[in-house]
Amino acid sequence: MNMNKLSPSSRSGRLSPFIVMEVLEKAQAMMAQGEDIIHLEVGEPDFATPEPVKEAALRAIKQDDTHYTHSLGKITLREEIANFYWRKYRVEISPEQVIITSGTSPGLLLVFSALLEKGEEIILPNPYYACYPNFIRYVDGQPVFVPVYEEDGFKYRPEDIKKHLSSLTQAILVNSPSNPTGSVFSAADLKALTDLDQMIISDEIYNGLIYDGEEHSVLEFTDRAFVFNGFSKLYAMTGWRLGYVIAPREYIRAMQIMQQNFFICASSFAQEGGIAALRDCDKEVRAMLAVYDERRRYLLERLKKMGIATRHDPNGAFYALANVKQYTNDSYNFAFEILEQAKVAVTPGIDFGNNCEGYIRLSYANSLSNIREGLDRLEAFLSNRG
């Protein structure tokens, strides 16, 4: 046994960097040197958390609601989530199927840990949210990537999924509305996935942030599904670290035991804020949605004039991909060139998989004036490149 080991574990070495954070950190270092940087890279709402949420949390703190809760989360919040899914999707779930987590990231760890044995597989779209493969590999699973294409609005072709299914496949993951593409799966799209007779993992954290068409949950079409959702995006509560998982009953106890060991429970007073978000914040959500849509329409108009818009408008979340293949086949270095020369922070497509190379992701979770200035700078940068 080497008593002098000073190197990280092999498990930690399997993880790839989250490139958007490296862009952000470089941008912050430049700002510290006096540079004026426009941030279009990070997917974080720029709105304040709604007042009813803050008031509920403050009441809880003043009433000394600052202790451990049940490891699954407060029953009042779990009941409210069940009511929410019934009101919105006419889906009947039990509060006993809900686990409250400290954001959706711990939920990802719980689900993949409960679902996967070593070497077993999860089907992912490519492009994908950058952290999915890292969670899967961390628990000794294997991500299997199915390319999705701009001409299809970056949605799965079910026939392509079938080619990647094997005896090791444990689930198909879908993220709608999607990060990074902004695509939204229709009822028919989700039904086609559930017809493949596989477990579905549905990341619905951006549900509610939809601008055209109807919104759906995969639970409308199957009960063989794990659903991730939370409060960070729709309710501008990123720092509150509050999310939840809806899971088949057969997996709840295993996930609860992991929660007890790894996380104990989510914040007690943040959970009170979550209850208020679901009960009392429809007006605030509608107002934020209208502002996001105004920014989205402006961004898309500019991208089209610049000749870098994708073929299908993104209809959800607060992201748009820009197709910059005419300028580069190295989005990583291209993004840092934009940052250093144009003083605009964007996310390189390669952060989201090799099928997103040649794209950059722009977030419109920023003021319209900043978006306008950022696009002016980006347009000038592209014009100078010819």
What DSSP state is assigned to residue 307?
Answer: T
pLDDT of residue 9: 83
Tally of CB atoms within 10 A around 19: 20
Any domain includes 2: no
Q: CA-to-CA distance for 300 and 310, rounded, in angstroms?
A: 9
Q: Mean pLDDT per 10-residue run, the chain (386 residues)? A: 72 81 92 95 93 98 98 98 97 97 96 97 96 95 97 96 97 97 96 96 97 93 97 96 98 97 97 98 97 98 97 96 96 96 96 96 96 97 86
* 101 in the same domain as 158: yes
Does residue 44 sit in the same domain as residue 65?
A: no
Element (H, E) at 88: helix 75-89
Same domain, 297 and 231: no
Q: Is residue 5 part of a domain?
A: no
pTM of the predicted model as reported, rounded to 2 decimal places:
0.93
6 in any annotated domain: no
pLDDT at residue 203, rounded to an integer: 98
Establish if 266 belongs to a structural domain. Answer: yes
- 288 part of a folded domain: yes
Same domain, 136 and 270: yes
Residue with tokens 């969670």: 135
Domain end (from 280, 298, 330): 280
Burial of residue 286 (number of CB atoms within 10 Å: 0-12, 13-18, 19+): exposed
Distance (Å, whole) CA 281 – CA 72: 24
Residues 6+ apart with CB under 8 A from 269: 57, 60, 61, 65, 66
State how beta strands 169-175 and 200-203 pair. Answer: parallel
Residue 339 falls inside a structural domain: yes
Same domain, 246 and 333: no
> End of a domain among 280, 299, 321?
280
Domain boundaries, position 31? 11-48+283-381
Instruction: 160-165: list long-range contacts, CB under 8 Å, 24+ apart.
Output: 161/123, 161/193, 161/196, 162/196, 164/123, 165/123, 165/196, 165/198
Tokens of 143: 């991500």
E runs forming strands in the chain: 38-39, 98-101, 121-126, 142-147, 169-175, 200-203, 225-230, 243-246, 319-323, 344-345, 347-348, 359-363
Assign residue 334 the CATH number of its domain: 3.90.1150.10
Contact between 373 and 41 under an 8 Å Cβ cutoff? The reply is no
pLDDT at 4: 67
- Residue that finishes a domain, picked among 280, 295, 315: 280
In whole angstroms, what is the distance from residue 309 CA to residue 332 CA?
Answer: 19
Length of the chain: 386
- Residue 230 has phi, psi (to 5 degrees) of 175, -165
In the 3-class helix/strand/coil scheme, how is 360-373 assigned residue by residue? EEEECCCCHHHHHH
Q: Beginning with the edge strand found earlier in the chain, give each strand of the sheet holding 200-203 in spatial order.
A: 98-101, 243-246, 225-230, 200-203, 169-175, 121-126, 142-147
- Say how far apart CA 93 and CA 267 lie, in whole Å: 23
Q: Is there a single domain that holds both residue 240 and residue 355?
A: no
Could you tell me if 32 and 142 lie in one domain? no
Task: Say if 130 falls within a structural domain.
Answer: yes
For residues 263 and 290, membership in a common domain is answered with no
The CATH number of whichever domain residue 150 belongs to comes to 3.40.640.10
Of residues 208, 236, 373, 356, the one with CA closest to residue 298: 373
Give yes or no for a contact between 347 and 180, defined as CB atoms under 8 angstroms apart. yes
Question: Is 185 found in the same domain as 174?
Answer: yes
Query: What is the pLDDT at residue 8?
Result: 84
Instruction: Say yes or no: 230 and 316 in one domain.
Output: no
Same domain membership, residue 176 and residue 90: yes
Split into its structural domains, the chain has a count of: 2
Instruction: Say yes or no: 32 and 76 in one domain.
Output: no
Residue 3 forms part of a structural domain: no
